[in-house]
Amino acid sequence: MLQVDLNCDMGEDFGVYKASVDSELMKYITSANIACGFHAGDASSIRRTVKLALASGVAVGAHPGLPDLGGFGRREMLITPEEAYEMTVYQLGAIQAFAKSEGGSVTHVKPHGALYNMAAKNRKLADAIAEAVYRVEPALLLFGLAGSELIHAGNAIGLHTINEVFADRTYELDGTLTPRGQSGAVILDPALAAEQTIGLVRDGKVRTRQNGCLILQAETVCIHGDTPGALEHAIALRDAIEAAGIKVKRAG
């Protein structure tokens, strides 16, 4: 039977800013990528989201991003590989500490936003992130854009990598995600998101924005918790995947 992990970016509240529906989303996913305080999140949100994931039987993951609260980590920054390494170690450590204090552990790491997209194309940044994860805990899973430099870097250093595809984003011909500034970059229709996901998981194929076709390995599917109608997307996606005879199961 085909199987796939469903992951969601979570814990993105901070201070008095509360915008998430994490408690409801947890019912439909198998892996949570928890903001570590750089692009979003704070000590309170990390602890709350870790506890929620553990209580829900959902895998706890670190979601390290660029230090850019104002831009939600979605604006590229000129950083060195050394800085990427240090950012990853620092943020992973925060999630690990909270997970351990609540009687759990971290299972995976998935970079966020611009850092994720930069590492998908820049091998030096990808190597730095993979090395950071490996040095902290070589048993951790590394989530990366399917077929990207981050996946190659993780494989090269000896990590167990997980090829990620996206339910609610469109693709370019080179396999990267359509930049959010482009019209149609985010898929808002739950039915279209579910259709794209089934094609990726069952057939390993997706149509690009330019109407081309990509062949991708789909081991985990991302749902963005901040997408308008995120909960409706998650419900529709989970229902469609199971109706297609695909088992939803934690990665690894």
Which residue is associated with the tokens 């939803």? 248
pLDDT at 30: 98
Continuous segment of H or E residues that includes residue 220: strand 220-224
pLDDT at 57: 97
Of 46, 94, 98, 60, nearest to 251 by C-alpha is: 60
Beta strands 213-215 and 205-207, pairing class: antiparallel
Q: How do residues 126-155 score in pLDDT, each as one tens digit?
A: 999 999 999 999 999 999 999 999 999 999
Phi, psi (rounded to 5 degrees) for 144: -150, 160
Residue 114 · residue 75 · CB < 8 Å: yes
Of 85, 105, 88, 89, nearest to 97 by C-alpha is: 105
Q: What is the DSSP letter of 195?
A: H
| CA-to-CA separations, 40 to 5, 29, 68, in angstroms, rounded | 24, 20, 8
Question: For position 29, which CATH number holds?
Answer: 3.20.20.370
The first and second tokens of residue 117, run together, are: 């997209």
Q: Is pLDDT at 228 greater than 80 in this prediction?
A: no
Give the integer Cα–Cα distance in Å for 173 and 58: 33
Q: How many domains does the chain have?
A: 1
Least trusted range by pLDDT, from 19-23, 72-76, 221-225: 19-23
Q: How do residues 41-55 score in pLDDT, each as one tens digit?
A: 999 999 999 999 999
Domain that holds residue 58: 3-248
